[in-house]
Structure 1
Amino acid sequence: MTDSPKTKLHGGGGSGFGSIGEDVLESILRRLPAATFASAACVSRSWHRVCRRILSRPKLASALSLNPCAQNALQEVVDKVLSEPICPHFAIVNVGNNVNMTDALQYIGRKLGAGTPIVISADSGIIGVDALINQVKEVEGGIDVGSYNSEDSDNAEQGIVLTVGFVPGLKVDVVPLLHLVEVNEDTLMVDKFITDITEYSVAMSGCSTPVGVIMFGDGVAEIKSAAEKLDYAMPLETAIVGDEKGNFEYRSADNSRYVPAIGLQDYTASAIALVFAKDRHKCPGLGDIKFHVALSDGLSTIGPRHRAASVKVDDCCTLLTARREGQEEILDGEGILNDIRDELENRVEYPDVYIGVTKRRVYKVGAEKAKSMSFLSFHGVMGGVEYLRVEGSGIESGDNFQFYYSDPAAALASCHKVSARMRSLNPGSDSDCSDKVGNIVASVGKSWVFGGFIFSSFGRGESFFNDFNVDSSPFVENFPGVPVAGIFCGGEIGRCSPSLCVQDSEEGTSVRRVCHVYSTVYLLMSYTQAPPGAAVTS
């Protein structure tokens, strides 16, 4: 026979709580900081049951600090995030470029416990809820962004955002993309990376398909091809988001699972993936967590299409000549650029220009049968006279490409479309509610959005839109009070969920896009309650 809410408890010993009802006890326990709450859960079976009820739903706790002292900023976000009950299943830390990531990783690791997987990344700016004033801020910083005149610019490089997640029903760990360095070989171990992700998912859930993957690249190795291969290997229901170029450190729950025991000194991690897999031992009373991805594009097309004629790689750049679509004449770099210079002159002042290359490639992982797939891949235009010079590699003769330019008007319109799409999932503010734990959640049909992450191009922000907090506005407007965190990064990774897709690729639905430029990728995390009558066991 279970205790009723008014049943007197006897597990408190001499603490003075032995004669209070469960409803009063719950009211007290839910106000405790995380560490004290964890201790209270061990007092007795009755207290443990109440604590489980308090943390019966997933929760994201996040805080941003712009304290000019990095250590004080770190203390502020930790104190804020752990000021309420939460059981850390993972942590993501986004910091300014001058924060010592190793020190921050060690400090947060001690606070969260040895078994919590942690990712810490240094990027070109941070997005989060200020720990002091409880408002969402977008703070651009670092040398990549250039001139930023916000009053927060002096503190941007010291800024810290800490996000801790409690996701019952999921298992989480960090999987590295290893980079093998030997005398005659320099290889990204992409197949092993994908196999490690699927094997982790199988071990945790019995299914090779994880719920979601958040990637972080190191900005040194070009991981675009790895992200595309991961996109190829994972079904569309697996959310994939992240940052292609940044700096990171990490801690896995079990790093021995992924790093070979022999020749350890020959390996580095060029990227990592925070992998979310279903828990095969999930309690029957728990609901389901789902990930949803939306994309705000910031590019517009310009000029005719071209087909690459000759291609060669020179010091991490690609040099090419091309034919204009429908013509046989081979154009040099200057001839190719002449097609777009006049059109750009009357459009946007000082835009960044890219070529979007349609690459049809053959992919396979391990011994599986090879399949072909087409991706749209962006390369920044660096100039050209004899050859068109673009950033990166991976372009082949015969690939088609189109010119794109950064367009604030298109980006703003895309933000509005994303907001409207999110609004279609959230019928209105009347559906906003507060659960028994006091967490603010927003209704999405029969679900609740309990948190989100934003990955925005460092080229966007206030300087791009001439306005504040545009990139975060679709999430904030539709889910006010729901925790959100993010970064301004050097290359956005994301594939849009069908329910949140605002437009199809101009190349057609058969062409995939997973790596972006001048975009903002949104990850929404929602929770659907279990059917009535399914109770969470003690």
Structure 2
Amino acid sequence: MIGEDLLYKIFTKLHAVECAAAACVSRSWNVTITRLLSLPKLSSALSLSPSLQVAVNDVADKVLASPIRPQFVIASIGPAFDLDEAHRLITGRFGSRIPVITSTSQGIFGQNATSNEFEEVQWDNYEDDEAHADLGNENHGALLTVGFLPGLAVDLIPLSKTRGNQVLMIVDLVLSVKERSSSRSGSASPVGILLFSDEETDIRPVLEKFDYAFSTETVIVGDGGSQFLYRGETAINPSSNKAASSAAVALLFSRDRGKPPGVGETQFHMMLSTGVSSIGPTYKAVSARERPRDYSTWITAKREAIRENLDGQTILDQISDELGGHNHCPALYVGVTKRRKCSIGQEKPSWILMHEFHEVLRGDEEYLYVHGLGIRSGDTFRFYHASSDLARASCNAIANNFRHLKQLLNCEGDDHTSNNGVDIRRKSVFGGIMFACCGRGKLFFGEPNVDSSPFLENFPGVTFSGTYCAGEIARADLSSYKQGSQEHSSIRCNLHVFSTVYLLMSYTPALPLR
């Protein structure tokens, strides 16, 4: 007769499909496997095969090589692969009730399915291929991340567009999230939201509503500019056809009040590494002319406490002087502070303060031209420029924060010991996901793996994966850009530039049943 402990060890060596089949053999096997599958797990793999079929098989076989009960699947592919075909192949490897999001990204981070080495792959989207030949990457590859988070329920909710694709149904999305979270947990605010936005969608109004509607404890991260397809239990986006696609999709994580006895608690921890530094004085927009056709705004402004109106070229000359006379800055933005009224449905509106980045396009003797809409006369703004030195220092600060988190989790776990001194409630980080700006990476820092090093150094052997994206979503405030500045903590900032967003997942086992 094989003992339960030995049987448990045998089951841990099985492929996920084999383990699921073994659970049907007998009641005792089912009980043992259920205990095994109740543990937290994030599994991820990367493949750089030029064949889509081979790449999908590589990563799917790897993540399913050990027992796991998938609650969600996130896949990222290179721009050389067909999104529709990739989504079809990936969804075919997982049950129809499991939420799946497949997106085309700017690059991927993760453990290679063949070599088991951690790799950072940034796909070459530059027009001048010869100038960036040192990236050495073809535009193919796939990253697959599969997770089971004990104590949480996972749902997928899309953001729909009205007929003609002109208006986003943002309020409907917020109310759907509230309703689903309430039914799962009894709270209208979920634990976390992973949000993926179409590259042609301005996700900022959505983030504004989310930030206003949900508890400050709700973690919101994601990719603010990609192509994606999804499949959920009650929602499906089967084609990348623009006319039929959704504007965004939210992967919702709610507390599961129906979780079985003995299941612990999964927590999210979000940290943000910034990569832009403010420069020059504060300006105030005197006029702001929106041009929806080319998605830009034409601005005239003045410096605070000075009455003279300034044209775009004069403003840029002032910023050039601040930069030491360099006329060309590879990445220049205005960070605009906006005071707006916000409400959900028929409730009374409230004032909110938010900070949004707009890329500077150019300036002339009339206007300063910036990308995006939503700027009004009276809004104040400062200029920001990308800085690899600041980004590296920010990564070092993140590494210190990770060390502190690890120590904190260990200390909290030490408070719960059995009579024989054995820790029975050890908290630990079991996985991490990263969203990094496509402007960062090897060319930005001069070496690879700078963004991934804070996690890899502090949590060796723990599953970690991520993507390069064009618009990093992270629910935060302006104090992230001004360390120790309490006055900026009330100014919300949810869509970032030249940043890296880290989402860590930790688990606290439940106390033994008595």
Whether the 8 Å contact between 2:332 and 2:360 is mirrored in structure 1 is: yes
Q: Does 1:34 align with 2:5?
A: no
Q: Does 1:56 align with 2:53?
A: no
Q: Does 1:270 align with 2:230?
A: no
SS in 1 for 2:270: strand
Give the alignment of 1:105-504 within 5 angstroms.
Answer: 105-143=87-125, 148-150=132-134, 152-154=136-138, 157-182=139-164, 186-255=166-235, 268-314=245-291, 315-345=294-324, 350-385=329-364, 386-427=366-407, 446-496=426-476, 503-504=483-484
1:30, CA displacement in angstroms?
A: 1.0
* Higher mean displacement: 524-533 or 382-391: 524-533
CA 1:390–1:349 in structure 2 vs 1: closer, same or farther (change >3 Å)?
closer
Cα distance in 1 for partners of 2:482, 2:33 equals: 41
Out of 76, 80, 91, the residue aligned to residue 98 of structure 1 is 80
1:401, CA displacement in angstroms?
A: 0.0
Cα distance in 2 for partners of 1:239, 1:120 equals: 21
Cα distance in 1 for partners of 2:426, 2:116 equals: 28
Out of 502, 507, 510, the residue aligned to residue 527 of structure 1 is 507
Cα distance in 1 for partners of 2:426, 2:308 equals: 59
Whether the 8 Å contact between 1:334 and 1:384 is mirrored in structure 2 is: yes
1:513, CA displacement in angstroms?
A: 0.9
Cα distance in 1 for partners of 2:451, 2:332 equals: 21
CA 1:528–1:429 in structure 2 vs 1: closer, same or farther (change >3 Å)?
closer
Cα distance in 2 for partners of 1:348, 1:232 equals: 39
**Unaligned residue ranges in structure 2 (runs of 5+):** 414-422
Whether the 8 Å contact between 1:308 and 1:397 is mirrored in structure 2 is: yes
Whether the 8 Å contact between 1:300 and 1:406 is mirrored in structure 2 is: yes
1:181, CA displacement in angstroms?
A: 2.9
Out of 54, 71, 76, the residue aligned to residue 53 of structure 2 is 71
Letter in 2 for 1:277: S
1:236, CA displacement in angstroms?
A: 1.3
1:345, CA displacement in angstroms?
A: 3.9
Letter in 1 for 2:443: S
SS in 1 for 2:201: coil
Letter in 2 for 1:301: S
CA 1:328–1:348 in structure 2 vs 1: closer, same or farther (change >3 Å)?
closer
SS in 2 for 1:85: coil
1:348, CA displacement in angstroms?
A: 10
Letter in 2 for 1:453: I
Q: TM-score of the superposition, structure 2-length normalised?
A: 0.91
Whether the 8 Å contact between 1:181 and 1:267 is mirrored in structure 2 is: no
SS in 2 for 1:73: helix
1:467, CA displacement in angstroms?
A: 1.0
Whether the 8 Å contact between 1:139 and 1:152 is mirrored in structure 2 is: no
Whether the 8 Å contact between 1:145 and 1:459 is mirrored in structure 2 is: no
Cα distance in 1 for partners of 2:261, 2:315 equals: 61
Cα distance in 2 for partners of 1:344, 1:509 equals: 27
Cα distance in 1 for partners of 2:171, 2:467 equals: 28
Letter in 1 for 2:205: S
Whether the 8 Å contact between 1:145 and 1:458 is mirrored in structure 2 is: no
Cα distance in 1 for partners of 2:303, 2:31 equals: 69
1:134, CA displacement in angstroms?
A: 1.7
Cα distance in 2 for partners of 1:59, 1:238 equals: 21
Letter in 1 for 2:7: L
Letter in 2 for 1:117: P
Deviations along 1:234-265, one digit per CA (max 9) or x if unpaired, are 11111100111111000011128x9xxxxxx9
CA 1:99–1:205 in structure 2 vs 1: closer, same or farther (change >3 Å)?
same
1:149, CA displacement in angstroms?
A: 3.8
Whether the 8 Å contact between 2:53 and 2:89 is mirrored in structure 1 is: no
Residue aligning to 1:85? 67
Whether the 8 Å contact between 2:159 and 2:169 is mirrored in structure 1 is: yes
Whether the 8 Å contact between 2:432 and 2:465 is mirrored in structure 1 is: yes
Cα-Cα RMSD: 2.6
Residue aligning to 1:261? none
Letter in 2 for 1:336: I
SS in 2 for 1:253: coil
Identical pairs, percent: 43
Whether the 8 Å contact between 2:334 and 2:359 is mirrored in structure 1 is: yes
Corresponding pairs, count: 494
Letter in 2 for 1:189: M
CA 1:202–1:26 in structure 2 vs 1: closer, same or farther (change >3 Å)?
same
Residue aligning to 1:20? 2
1:141, CA displacement in angstroms?
A: 0.5
Cα distance in 2 for partners of 1:267, 1:525 equals: 34
Deviations along 1:265-290, one digit per CA (max 9) or x if unpaired, are 98641111111111121112111111
CA 1:363–1:423 in structure 2 vs 1: closer, same or farther (change >3 Å)?
same
Letter in 1 for 2:504: L
SS in 2 for 1:301: strand
Cα distance in 2 for partners of 1:234, 1:495 equals: 11
Whether the 8 Å contact between 2:477 and 2:488 is mirrored in structure 1 is: no
Whether the 8 Å contact between 2:477 and 2:494 is mirrored in structure 1 is: no
Whether the 8 Å contact between 1:351 and 1:407 is mirrored in structure 2 is: no
CA 1:303–1:332 in structure 2 vs 1: closer, same or farther (change >3 Å)?
same
